[in-house]
């Protein structure tokens, strides 16, 4: 049994030969051919004259001719293989039967996993079950799969999985499944890093896509509750250990701040810093007014006989809320204040509930109950339990979900110095993996399948590698008429694309990759003078890119930015990145006199492919479960065409033949066991057609099943 090398060791391209006399004769013929071929390596005097060997004569002849032990062992192996093949040919063993008249083509499918503590190969095995070998699907019964290490043999944890011949392929195509595993590079995220990232997202405001702004409000209000809880517990700790009053906690820092402002005003007047004088004078007036008002309140409600004065009561009730308000503005900005006012409304409802409970359980006057009912007051018996409860809920959510899952997103999207190193390591691993697949010379087609946060990693990988090699691709004169047609097409990412335009781009893009392969990897090694780009398809599942404005952009710092809403400022930043070709779109964005794919290089005096042409060559299919009421469907995935270009085919799917959203389907894109329809479900059919292992027409046919979501792509308002 012969094993053909492909993508490593142990790869099979095999058809099953029958046994019996036919198999007997073929086995003998193969062994004799191998024996004669091996004989060519031996000295002339020891060449094999026929298929009958005498081991003793060979040894003696070898002694006279000075043949080393390795040659004798080699000839002994040939004899053993001859006998073994002859003896076993009558048994029903599968034998290689490669049709020399048909060139065997090979596809690499690179799977990129999503967020969370992923195990190596867990995602790629799930995708294989979805597109190739589902035991429940009778059409997959004859599909075979072999597992073997990468060609380098260095990493046996990330093995390659190779298929038998793909049914329906006209070129006897086989597929190697690889996984880009990056979870080990994402070191344990600290809880405070996740919290700070959530605060940063809240600063951007409720500018998420339709149906998810309620989630922003829920998270922002809960973070405001956290701020109130921290303020209550911190002030209670100060009261406990300092043995002072609440008034002293308020007045001491207030007087320190007021004296500092007065001194600053004196210095500004002395040096005639008039602009500073104006601002400091305003602060001084406001400070003195607040102080006088506080003294008036103390005089108007003096208290006595065990009753606190009005200023002390106000301090006990309002100081934690004031501290939380200042903290919210500092860490969450103006959008945080919007959430804070709603948090106070929620707190008021809670205080009404506390009044009812206190009156029901205790024999107190209504006035006393009301003064103690505010849930964030230092005098309230409810404040500490509710604060500990809020913090406990956060800690539980952090341990169960936020840190192990959102922690990856926080490390990847938040641009702190420590996170930049992690992000660079992940991108380097991704680009190196894609480079190895291209440079191996084994593949004429590469398909990238990515899930969740992995779609962002894969998007960065594609744009980084393409920008590295785009000026080393074959000259456009070698790429056929298809290149000129796409380069001169009037398509733009923000313009709605017709069905015919999408079909045209997909057909010509596939032919362009074939043309690149013809002048690179399909030529002998010594004739490969150019780099290749072989990624025919980018398939995204539950893509976090649907939140690109929210996660990947910063509010634009334009002069007129203050007049725009938060969403408009994020879109403006996205538009800038597209126009600078930082974010490639599908189709590519036409800039000035450039084409969709090429530009005139003034230095080289030639027309060559620019780095924004990526998705003029690579087809992009996006599969997602539509969201319903936050928890039904997939809150992370969503349509991408309104953001990254109207030639992306967005496929909304369901786990049910009857349609409708199922509960939390973010990890169900390759689930073949999800009831009631299991392997027959629409989401699996869409995945198979998008990956299209046979390299036929399914990726063209699925255009008719896509939907055009509203909105304008490319960051245009």
Same domain (yes/no): 434, 381: no
Which comes out higher in pLDDT, residue 534 or 209? 534
Lookup result for tokens 């501290």:
323
Give the span between the Cα atoms of 716 and 572, in whole angstroms. Answer: 7
At residue 105 the predicted structure's pLDDT band, cuts being 50, 70 and 90, is confident
- A 10 A CB-CB count for 204 gives 22
Residue 309 has pLDDT above 80, yes or no: no
Residue 476 has pLDDT above 70, yes or no: yes
At residue 557 the predicted structure's pLDDT band, cuts being 50, 70 and 90, is low
Which comes out higher in pLDDT, residue 53 or 646? 646
Rg of the chain over CA atoms, in angstroms? 35
Contacts of 475 (CB under 8 A, 6+ apart): 530, 606, 608
Same domain (yes/no): 152, 261: no
The closest alpha carbon to 78, from 60, 105, 52, belongs to 52
pLDDT of residue 25: 47
At residue 104 the predicted structure's pLDDT band, cuts being 50, 70 and 90, is low
pLDDT of residue 330: 94
Which comes out higher in pLDDT, residue 38 or 618? 618
Q: What is the pLDDT of residues 206-244, one digit of tens each?
A: 887 767 888 899 999 999 999 999 999 999 999 888 878
Alpha helices (H) in 563-660, listed in sequence order: 566-579, 614-617, 641-644
Residue 249 has pLDDT above 60, yes or no: yes
Q: What is the pLDDT of residues 638-684, one digit of tens each?
A: 999 999 999 999 999 999 999 888 999 999 999 999 888 888 999 99
Residue 715 lies in a domain: no
Same domain (yes/no): 578, 473: yes
At residue 336 the predicted structure's pLDDT band, cuts being 50, 70 and 90, is very high
Residue 400 lies in a domain: no
Same domain (yes/no): 571, 655: yes
Tokens linked to 642: 């309104």
Residue 268 has pLDDT above 50, yes or no: yes
Give the span between the Cα atoms of 294 and 291, in whole angstroms. Answer: 5
Give the span between the Cα atoms of 124 and 693, in whole angstroms. Answer: 15
496-508: burial string, b at 16+ Cβ within 10 Å, e else: ebeeebbebbbeb
Residue 101 lies in a domain: no
**Average pLDDT of the residues in 694-705:** 90
Give the span between the Cα atoms of 375 and 380, in whole angstroms. Answer: 6
Same domain (yes/no): 202, 78: no
Contacts of 179 (CB under 8 A, 6+ apart): 110, 111, 112, 113, 120, 121, 123, 124, 158
The closest alpha carbon to 531, from 589, 601, 611, 606, belongs to 611
- How many domains does the chain divide into? 3
Domain span including residue 128: 106-181+417-705
pLDDT of residue 107: 96
Contacts of 184 (CB under 8 A, 6+ apart): none
**Average pLDDT of the residues in 150-159:** 76
Same domain (yes/no): 177, 204: no
Same domain (yes/no): 249, 358: yes
Which comes out higher in pLDDT, residue 706 or 649? 649
Same domain (yes/no): 382, 454: no
pLDDT of residue 595: 93
Q: What is the pLDDT of residues 679-688, one digit of tens each?
A: 899 999 999 9
Reduced to 3 states (helix: H, G, I; strand: E, B; else coil), residue 402 is helix
**Average pLDDT of the residues in 78-86:** 42
Peptide bond into 221 cis (omega under 30): no
Give the span between the Cα atoms of 352 and 312, in whole angstroms. Answer: 22
DSSP state of 520: T
Reduced to 3 states (helix: H, G, I; strand: E, B; else coil), residue 211 is coil
Residue 335 lies in a domain: yes
Tokens linked to 117: 């503590």
- Percent pLDDT > 70 in the chain is 81
Residue 714 lies in a domain: no
Same domain (yes/no): 329, 435: no
Residue 560 has pLDDT above 70, yes or no: no
Give the span between the Cα atoms of 659 and 655, in whole angstroms. Answer: 7
Does residue 479 contact residue 513 with C-beta atoms inside 8 Å?
no
Give the span between the Cα atoms of 530 and 516, in whole angstroms. Answer: 9
Give the span between the Cα atoms of 309 and 394, in whole angstroms. Answer: 37
Same domain (yes/no): 301, 450: no
The lowest-confidence range among 129-133, 408-412, 477-481, 491-495 is 408-412
Query: 274-300 vs 246-270: helix axis angle to the nearest 10?
Result: 150
Give the span between the Cα atoms of 623 and 535, in whole angstroms. Answer: 18
Domain closes at, from 346, 367, 388: 388
Residue 490 has pLDDT above 90, yes or no: yes
**Average pLDDT of the residues in 600-615:** 92
- What value does the mean pLDDT of the chain take? 82
Reduced to 3 states (helix: H, G, I; strand: E, B; else coil), residue 148 is strand
Residue 43 has pLDDT above 60, yes or no: no
Residue 101 has pLDDT above 60, yes or no: no
Residue 395 lies in a domain: no
Pairing of the two strands 535-541 and 445-451? parallel
Same domain (yes/no): 310, 384: yes
Same domain (yes/no): 692, 600: yes
At residue 306 the predicted structure's pLDDT band, cuts being 50, 70 and 90, is low
Residue 542 lies in a domain: yes
Residue 84 has pLDDT above 50, yes or no: no
Q: According to the per-residue pLDDT averaged within each range, which of 105-119, 139-153, 410-424 is highest?
A: 105-119
Q: What is the pLDDT of residues 368-415, one digit of tens each?
A: 888 889 999 998 999 999 999 999 999 999 888 888 788 888 888 887
Within 13 A of 492's CA, how many CA atoms are on the CB side? 14
pLDDT of residue 59: 34
At residue 23 the predicted structure's pLDDT band, cuts being 50, 70 and 90, is very low
The lowest-confidence range among 263-277, 318-332, 367-381, 555-569 is 555-569
Residue 2 lies in a domain: no
Which comes out higher in pLDDT, residue 69 or 186? 186
Reduced to 3 states (helix: H, G, I; strand: E, B; else coil), residue 693 is coil
Q: What angle do CA 519, 111, 189 make, to 5 degrees?
A: 130
Residue 46 has pLDDT above 60, yes or no: no
At residue 134 the predicted structure's pLDDT band, cuts being 50, 70 and 90, is confident
């Amino acid at each position: 049994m012969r094993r053909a090398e492909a993508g490593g060791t142990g790869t099979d391209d095999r058809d099953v030969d029958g046994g019996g006399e036919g198999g007997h004769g073929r086995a003998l013929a193969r062994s004799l051919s191998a024996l004669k071929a091996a004989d060519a390596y031996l000295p002339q005097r020891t060449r094999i004259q026929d298929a009958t060997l005498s081991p003793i004569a060979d040894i003696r002849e070898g002694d006279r001719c000075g043949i080393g032990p390795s040659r004798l062992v080699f000839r002994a192996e040939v004899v053993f293989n001859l006998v073994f093949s002859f003896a076993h040919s009558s048994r029903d063993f599968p034998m290689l039967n490669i049709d020399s008249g048909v060139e065997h083509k090979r596809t690499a499918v690179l799977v990129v996993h999503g967020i969370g503590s992923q195990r190596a190969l867990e995602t790629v095995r799930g995708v294989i079950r979805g597109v190739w070998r589902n035991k429940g699907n009778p059409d997959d019964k004859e599909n075979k799969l072999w597992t073997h290490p990468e060609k380098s043999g260095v990493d046996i944890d990330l093995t390659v999985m190779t298929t038998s011949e793909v049914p329906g392929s006209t070129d006897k195509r086989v597929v190697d499944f690889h996984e880009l595993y990056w979870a080990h590079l994402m070191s344990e995220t600290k809880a405070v890093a996740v919290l700070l990232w959530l605060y940063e997202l809240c600063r951007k405001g409720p500018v998420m896509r339709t149906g998810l702004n309620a989630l922003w409000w829920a998270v922002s209000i809960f973070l405001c509750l956290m701020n109130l809880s921290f303020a209550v517990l911190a002030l209670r700790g100060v009261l406990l250990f300092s043995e002072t009053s609440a008034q002293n906690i308020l007045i001491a820092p207030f007087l320190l701040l007021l004296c500092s402002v007065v001194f600053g005003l004196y210095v500004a007047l002395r040096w005639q810093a008039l602009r500073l004088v104006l601002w400091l004078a305003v602060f001084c007036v406001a400070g003195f007014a607040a102080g006088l008002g506080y003294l008036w309140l103390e005089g108007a409600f003096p208290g006595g006989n065990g009753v606190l004065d009005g200023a002390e009561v106000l301090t006990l009730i309002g100081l934690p809320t004031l501290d939380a308000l200042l903290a919210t503005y500092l860490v969450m900005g103006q959008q945080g204040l919007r959430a804070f006012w709603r948090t106070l409304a929620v707190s008021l409802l809670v205080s009404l509930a506390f009044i009812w409970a206190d009156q029901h359980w205790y024999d107190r006057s209504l006035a006393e109950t009301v003064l103690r009912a505010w849930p964030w007051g230092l005098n309230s018996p409810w404040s500490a339990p509710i604060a500990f409860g809020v913090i406990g809920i956060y800690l539980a959510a952090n341990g169960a979900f936020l840190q192990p899952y959102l922690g990856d997103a926080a490390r990847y999207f938040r641009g702190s110095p420590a996170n930049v190193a992690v992000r660079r390591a992940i991108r380097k691993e991704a680009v190196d993996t894609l480079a190895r697949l291209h440079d191996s010379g084994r593949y004429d087609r590469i398909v990238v399948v990515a899930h969740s946060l992995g779609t962002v990693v894969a998007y960065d990988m594609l744009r980084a590698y393409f920008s590295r090699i785009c000026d080393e691709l074959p000259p456009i004169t070698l790429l056929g008429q298809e290149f000129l047609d796409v380069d001169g097409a009037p398509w733009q990412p923000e313009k709605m694309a017709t069905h015919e335009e999408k079909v045209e781009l997909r057909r010509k893009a596939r032919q362009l990759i074939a043309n690149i392969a013809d002048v690179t990897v399909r030529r002998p090694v010594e004739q490969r003078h150019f780099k290749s780009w072989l990624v025919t398809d980018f398939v995204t599942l539950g893509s976090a890119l649907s939140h690109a404005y929210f996660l990947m952009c910063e509010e634009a710092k334009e002069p007129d930015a203050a007049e725009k809403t938060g969403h408009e400022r994020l879109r403006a930043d996205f538009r800038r990145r597209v126009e600078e070709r930082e974010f490639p779109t599908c189709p590519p964005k036409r800039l000035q006199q450039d084409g969709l794919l090429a530009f005139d290089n003034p230095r080289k005096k030639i027309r060559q492919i620019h780095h924004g042409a990526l998705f003029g060559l690579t087809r992009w299919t996006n599969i997602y479960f539509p969201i319903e009421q936050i928890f039904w469907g997939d809150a992370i995935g969503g349509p991408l065409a309104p953001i990254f270009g109207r030639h992306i085919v967005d496929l909304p799917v369901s786990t049910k033949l009857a349609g409708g959203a199922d509960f939390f389907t973010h990890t169900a894109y390759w689930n073949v066991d999800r009831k009631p329809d299991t392997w027959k479900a629409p989401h699996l059919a869409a995945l198979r057609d998008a990956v299209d292992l046979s390299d036929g027409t399914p990726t063209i046919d699925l255009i008719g099943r896509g939907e055009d979501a509203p909105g304008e792509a490319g960051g245009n308002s």
